[in-house]
Amino acid sequence: MSVLVVCPGKDPENWVKALKNQHPGMNVYVYPEEHDTEEVEFAITWNHPRGLFKNYPNLKVIASMGAGVDHILSDAALPDNVEVTKIVDDTLTEDMGDFVLSQVMNHIRGLHHYVKNQQKKQWEKFQYKRPQNTKVGIMGLGVLGNAVADKLHKNFFKVYGWSRTEKNCDNVTSFHGKDQLQEFLENSEILVCLLPLTDDTCDILNADLFDMLPEGAYIINVARGEHLVEHDLMKMIDNGHLSGASLDVFREEPLPDEHPFWDHPRINITPHIASLTKPESVVAQIAENYDRMKEDEPLKNKVEMEKGY
Ligand code: NDP
């Protein structure tokens, strides 16, 4: 019985080292090095080549290296009956809270103006909003959305949330389902996307949705690039309805040199770093699921395939 690590474009060595530290008896292969495909029952992956897992007749579990699983489920050739797990990790969750808070604060204090003005040696003061007077709407009240909501509340923001099913969260005015989307959006002066990427949520950040936001709303997308219709965002910023955006994720990553987002004065770009998985912090839960698979016990953080997250 062996474990396969597949993460093209990433260095697998930290993963292998952390797995072996955690579970010294584990036999770990790294794709594409030569290995016996029949031996592999458990795979750990990020952005595997499409169709790869069809070649593993005994594969039972695919563990995502991160909180998102769209990179696995979007493979039309995924073997039947395979179980998929995702990462739920305190460090990942806390880091997302810190990042979103930093972007929200950056926006209300207008800090990006001063970075630009420093380059021009320009001394210019701007008025700013206070957290107490700022409404932030979070799309997705899961592990990360909840943590972000909590952090923003502790920093005195007025927090609104939207999810698929009804929630009763402390300190968050929550809405759910398509019927309540408009009311949620009308209260979102800053809109944070923390939805998983599914058929229902792809392209959800589009002109119709932006129209329902208050004039001057600001967008923070830390979920997936495919949530955002890029052209609609540019149009709504350029016509003044939106005041700008902070984008951490993109339809194509790395963002191509010629992409208009790079030079847009009202768009802040970060290279998908809102919250990075640290192998040493998450291998324990992966190793535990490996043992659970061997013992035929229910897996932790299992993805519901029919929901897509
Ligand atoms: P969860 O699965 O814990 O939560 C997902 C939330 O989205 C749930 O509240 C769910 O509602 C809601 N949701 C799903 N579909 C819909 C829908 N159609 N309409 C309304 N609400 C919906 O996910 P996480 O919080 O762990 O992660 C969210 C995403 O963040 C990941 O999928 C990943 O793409 C992204 N991410 C980005 C990172 C970065 O560095 N930029 C790092 C890590 C993750 P309900 O509760 O009712 O089911």
Q: What is the pLDDT of residues 71-124, one digit of tens each?
A: 999 999 999 999 999 999 999 999 999 999 999 999 999 999 999 999 999 999
Category of 88 on φ-ψ map: left (φ > 0), alpha (ψ -120 to 50) or beta: beta
Q: Which amino acid is located at 173 in the chain?
A: T
* 80 lies in the same domain as 108: no
pLDDT at residue 1, as a whole number: 87
Contact 28, 16 (CB under 8 A): yes
Domain count, the chain: 2
Closest CA to 59 of 76, 77, 83, 86: 83
Q: CA 225 to CA 253: how far, in whole Å?
A: 9
Q: Which amino acid is located at 126 in the chain?
A: F
* 16 lies in the same domain as 136: no
Q: CA 73 to CA 305: how far, in whole Å?
A: 8
What is the span of the domain harbouring residue 227? 90-269
pTM across the whole model:
0.97
**Does any ligand 1 atom lie closer than 6 A to the CB of residue 142?**
yes
Closest ligand 1 atom to residue 249 Cα is 41
**Other Cβ atoms closer than 10 A to 51:** 11
Tokens linked to 204: 């959800």
* 187 lies in the same domain as 243: yes
Contact 145, 153 (CB under 8 A): no
Tokens linked to 300: 């932790």
Give how far Cα 128 sits from Cα of 120, 159, 165, Å: 21, 19, 35
* 41 lies in the same domain as 52: yes
* 234 lies in the same domain as 129: yes
Q: CA 281 to CA 66: how far, in whole Å?
A: 11
* 66 lies in the same domain as 109: no
**Does any ligand 1 atom lie closer than 6 A to the CB of residue 279?**
no
* 68 lies in the same domain as 197: no
Ligand 1, atom 19, residue with closest C-alpha: 164
**Does any ligand 1 atom lie closer than 6 A to the CB of residue 175?**
no
Contact 23, 14 (CB under 8 A): no
| 309 domain-assigned | no
pLDDT at residue 226, as a whole number: 98
Q: How far does the centroid of ligand 1 lie from the alpha carbon of residue 212, in Å?
A: 21
How many CA within 13 A on the CB side of residue 72? 29
| 305 domain-assigned | no
pLDDT at residue 170, as a whole number: 87
Active-site residue flag, 292:
no
What's the CATH number where 195 sits? 3.40.50.720
Q: How far does the centroid of ligand 1 lie from the alpha carbon of residue 131, in Å?
A: 24
Q: What is the mean pLDDT of residues 2-17?
A: 96
| 171 domain-assigned | yes
* ipTM of the complex, rounded to two decimals: 0.99
| 159 domain-assigned | yes
**Does any ligand 1 atom lie closer than 6 A to the CB of residue 194?**
yes
Direct distance between the N- and C-terminal alpha carbons of the chain, in angstroms, rounded to an integer: 27
Contact 175, 159 (CB under 8 A): no
Ligand 1, atom 16, residue with closest C-alpha: 164
pLDDT tens digit sequence for 222-266: 999 999 999 999 999 999 999 999 999 999 999 999 999 999 999
* 283 lies in the same domain as 247: no
* 154 lies in the same domain as 118: yes
Q: How far does the centroid of ligand 1 lie from the alpha carbon of residue 6, in Å?
A: 23
Catalytic residue among 112, 153, 266, 272: 272
* 97 lies in the same domain as 82: no
| 9 domain-assigned | yes
| 306 domain-assigned | no
* 75 lies in the same domain as 98: no
Strand, coil or helix: 247 = strand
Contact 45, 7 (CB under 8 A): yes
pLDDT at residue 265, as a whole number: 95
Closest ligand 1 atom to residue 141 Cα is 9
* 229 lies in the same domain as 139: yes
| 308 domain-assigned | no
Active-site residue flag, 272:
yes
**Does any ligand 1 atom lie closer than 6 A to the CB of residue 71?**
no
